[in-house]
């Protein structure tokens, strides 16, 4: 039995049409691809140009040329005057100074400095501290013992039970004698009076010295009053 083909089942009928439609679609896709690539390039170029500053906004500055320097004053040169010296003038002999002459002249010119005269010290000036302080014969212990042996306890102070230490000072003169006895720290008027009386009776000290010379020096000593129990 022979198979019959219908007109609808014929596949070769629209083959050329389908091929044409496929070509058109392919070209359209290629065209769209080209268009898309060109747009990206244009956008990139536009973004670069956007950063450029407009030429109208740039302020044109012109640097002023500095003024030329003033001309230097002309220096007028005066002609040198040459003095003609006659040949017949005698030139004096120049003395040649020897080393011995120079030393001699130096010795002659040198003047020894004048020593400053030391000011004379006032004999009445009283020193507080000196190079060598005054010294009682036998030393400090001998001085305290001499005072204790010569003190008479005032009866009124003894009856009232008054005792203590009277601080005194005096001046040891250049000859060793005692002068200007004073009470520095009093205890009782009767005790103070007795301390002054005893110190005025002190024998001569070995005077103090300053620069090898005897001078007046202030000296301090305590006078103790103590009742025996």
pLDDT attached to residue 28 = 84
Q: Which residues of the chain have pLDDT under 70?
A: 1-14, 35-65, 73-121, 229
CA neighbor of 193 nearest in space, from 145, 159, 225? 225
- CA 155, 157, 160, 162: dihedral to nearest 10 degrees? -140
DSSP for 10-67 reads: -TTTTHHHHHHHHHHHHHHHHHHHHHHHHHHHHHHHHHHHTTSPPGGGSPP--PPPPP
Digit-coded pLDDT (tens) for 137-191: 999 999 999 999 999 999 999 999 999 999 999 999 999 999 999 999 999 999 9
pLDDT attached to residue 19 = 82
pLDDT attached to residue 221 = 95
pLDDT attached to residue 52 = 41
Cβ 172 vs Cβ 216: under 8 Å:
yes
pLDDT attached to residue 16 = 77
pLDDT attached to residue 107 = 47
pLDDT attached to residue 69 = 76
**Residues with Cβ < 8 Å from 215, sequence gap 6 or more?**
121, 125, 127, 130, 174, 207, 208, 209
3-state SS, one letter per residue, for 139-153: CHHHHHHHHHHHCCC
Task: Give the SS3 label for residue 198.
Answer: helix
Digit-coded pLDDT (tens) for 76-86: 665 555 566 56
Q: Report the alpha-carbon distance of residue 157 to residue 152 in Å, rounded.
A: 11
What does residue 220 show for φ and ψ, rounded to 5 degrees?
A: -115, 145
């Amino acid at each position: 039995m022979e198979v019959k083909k219908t007109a609808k089942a014929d596949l070769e009928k629209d083959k050329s049409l389908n091929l044409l439609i496929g070509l058109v679609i392919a070209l359209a896709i290629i065209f769209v691809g080209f268009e898309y690539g060109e747009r990206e390039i244009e956008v990139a170029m536009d973004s670069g140009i956007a950063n450029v500053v407009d030429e109208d906004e740039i302020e044109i500055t012109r640097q002023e040329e500095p003024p030329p320097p003033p001309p230097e004053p002309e220096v007028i040169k005066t002609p040198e005057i040459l003095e003609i010296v006659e040949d017949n003038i005698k030139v004096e002999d120049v003395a040649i100074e020897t080393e011995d002459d120079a030393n001699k002249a130096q010795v002659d010119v040198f003047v020894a400095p004048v020593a400053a005269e030391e000011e004379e010290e006032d004999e009445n000036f009283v020193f507080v501290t000196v190079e060598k302080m005054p010294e009682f014969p036998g030393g400090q212990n001998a001085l305290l013992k001499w005072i204790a042996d010569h003190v008479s306890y005032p009866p009124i102070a003894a009856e009232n039970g008054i005792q203590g230490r009277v601080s005194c000072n005096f001046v040891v003169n250049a000859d060793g004698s005692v002068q200007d006895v004073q009470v520095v720290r009093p205890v009782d008027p009767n005790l103070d009076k007795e301390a002054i009386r005893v110190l005025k009776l002190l024998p001569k000290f070995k005077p103090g010295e300053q620069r090898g010379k005897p001078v007046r020096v202030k000296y301090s000593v305590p006078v103790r009053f103590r009742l025996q129990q």
